[in-house]
Amino acid sequence: MAGEKVALGIDVGGTFIKAALCTRDGEVRVRSSTDTVAREGYESVLHRIIWIVEDVLDRAGVQRADVAGVGIGLAGRIDPRSGDAVMCPNLPGFVNVPVARPLADNLGLKVKIGNDAGCAGLGEFFFGAGKGSRDMVMLTLGTGIGGAVILDGQLRRGTRQVLGEIGHCVIDIDGPQCSCTQHGCLEAFCGTEGIVRRTRERLQRGRASKILDLSGGDTLNVTPQIVADAAKAGDAVAIEVLEETGLYLGAGIVNAVVFCDPDVVVIGGKIADAGEHLFEPLRRTVEARCRIGQFRGDRIVEAKLGGDAGVVGAASLILEPEAGIQSRK
C-alpha cells in the first residue's frame, strides 16, 4: 500500500465498535471490532476508539503518513461541523461533548464524525447500491429506522440535523407511540417492535402459524428474523405481516420521494433480508401512490454492502471530501 492513501472508518454502536481500513475505491483491507463498554462512559469509549485505530494500523502495517484520516459514525445527533456529539442515547455521557477534537489530538490524524445512518448511506452511495446516482435516499431497517439523504452528491442533515430521519415521518396520526414519543411514526410500524407487535396481535387471535414453532411456542420470542424465515417457508401469517410492512414502508418512501426526488431509494438493515416478501408490496405501494413524478418500483433497491456499509461510509467522510462535512485537524 506504499504511496496509496487509505482511511479508517469507525462505526460506534452501543454494544460494539467496528473498524476497517479502506482504500479510495471502498475496498476493506483490514477489519477489527471490540466491545464498546458504553456503560463505562465517555472517556472510556474514546480510549476504545483510540485502541481500535492503533490495532488496525498495527495489523495492516500502515504508517500514519499513509493515512488520510479517520471517519467515525455515531448513533444519535451529532454536529459534523464542530465534531461534537449532541445526544447519543446508547452512549452514556455523549451529550454535548467533543469527539473529533480529542481523538485528532491523540491520534495525530484528521478526524471527521457523522451520524451512523448517514455514514451507511454514504457507503452505499459511493461504493454500493447507489453508485452512479447523484441523488439518493437510504433507509436502514432494524430496531429503529435510520435514514440518509444525499442530494447533488452531498450528505444533507439540515439545520437541526434531522433531515433523513425518515423513520419519524408520521404515516398515521392515530397510530402507536414511537420511541421518540410521537404517535404514528413509520418506525412505530416497521421497526423491530412494530413488526413484532403486529405479528403477536395475529397470533393472539388464535391463528395457526409456523412462527409459533420457530419461537418455541412463546410469542415473547418472536423476532423479525423469525417472521422472515416463516414467510420463506410459505407461512400465511408471516407473509401477511410482511405485506403490511411493505405497505407502511411504501407510504413512508412516497413521502421521502416527494420531498427529495431521488434517483434511487436504497433499503438496508437486517429486516431487509426478508427479500421479495417485503420488497414486492413496498414497490407496488410506491408505484400506486407516488403519482407525482411516477417513481418506478425498480428504483427501490436492496443495499449491497451489508455490515460494511457503516465503516466504509465513515471512511468515505475522509476519502470523499465532496461529501461536504467539515473536519478537525
- pLDDT of residue 326 exceeding 80, the answer is no
Q: Is residue 114 within 8 Å of 314, Cβ to Cβ?
A: yes
Overall pTM > 0.75: yes
Query: How many structural domains comprise the chain?
Result: 2
Contacts of residue 93, defined as CB under 8 A and 6 or more positions apart, other chains included, come to 41, 42, 43, 45
pLDDT value of residue 249:
96
- pLDDT of residue 103 exceeding 90, the answer is yes
Whether residue 328 is contained in a domain is answered as no
Residues 118, 172 within the same domain: no
* CATH, residue 30: 3.30.420.40
pLDDT value of residue 321:
61
SS3 216: coil
Residues 36, 116 within the same domain: yes
What average pLDDT does this structure show over 220-224?
95
d(CA 138, CA 280): 17
Confidence of residue 197 (pLDDT cuts 50, 70, 90): very high
SS3 94: coil
Region of poorest pLDDT, from 155-159, 165-169, 256-260:
155-159
Residues 174, 257 within the same domain: yes
Q: Is residue 10 within 8 Å of 28, Cβ to Cβ?
A: no
Residues 267, 183 within the same domain: yes
pLDDT value of residue 250:
95
Whether residue 32 is contained in a domain is answered as yes
Residues 207, 105 within the same domain: no
Whether residue 285 is contained in a domain is answered as yes
What average pLDDT does this structure show over 97-103?
97
Q: Give the residue with greater pLDDT, 77 vs 214.
A: 214
Give tens-digit pLDDT for 15-30.
Answer: 899 999 999 888 999 9
Query: In the numeric block, which cell numbers belong to residue 121?
Result: 448511506
Distance between terminal CA atoms of the chain? 23
Phi first, then psi, for residue 254 (nearest 5°) are: -55, -45
Q: Is residue 288 within 8 Å of 255, Cβ to Cβ?
A: no
What average pLDDT does this structure show over 248-254?
95
What average pLDDT does this structure show over 175-185?
90
Residues 148, 281 within the same domain: yes
Residues 89, 152 within the same domain: no
Q: Which domain holds residue 40?
A: 6-122+308-323
- pLDDT of residue 328 exceeding 50, the answer is no
What average pLDDT does this structure show over 128-144?
93
- pLDDT of residue 194 exceeding 50, the answer is yes
- pLDDT of residue 322 exceeding 60, the answer is no
Phi first, then psi, for residue 217 (nearest 5°) are: 80, 5
Residues 172, 279 within the same domain: yes
Residue 175 identity: G
* Mean pLDDT of the chain, nearest integer: 91
Cα 66 to Cα 105, 165, 199, distances in angstroms: 18, 35, 51
What single DSSP character describes residue 271? G
Q: What is the largest CA-CA distance in the chain?
A: 65
Residues 259, 194 within the same domain: yes
Per DSSP, the residues of 206-272 read T---HHHHHTTT-GGG--HHHHHHHHHTT-HHHHHHHHHHHHHHHHHHHHHHHHH--SEEEEESGGG
Question: At which residue does the C-alpha cell 414486492 appear?
Answer: 280
pLDDT value of residue 324:
45
Angle, CA 197 vertex, CA 307 and CA 14 arms, to 5°: 35
Question: What sign has the CA pseudo-torsion 261, 266, 270, 276?
Answer: positive
Residues 220, 116 within the same domain: no
Query: In the numeric block, which cell numbers belong to residue 180?
Result: 421518540
Whether residue 296 is contained in a domain is answered as yes
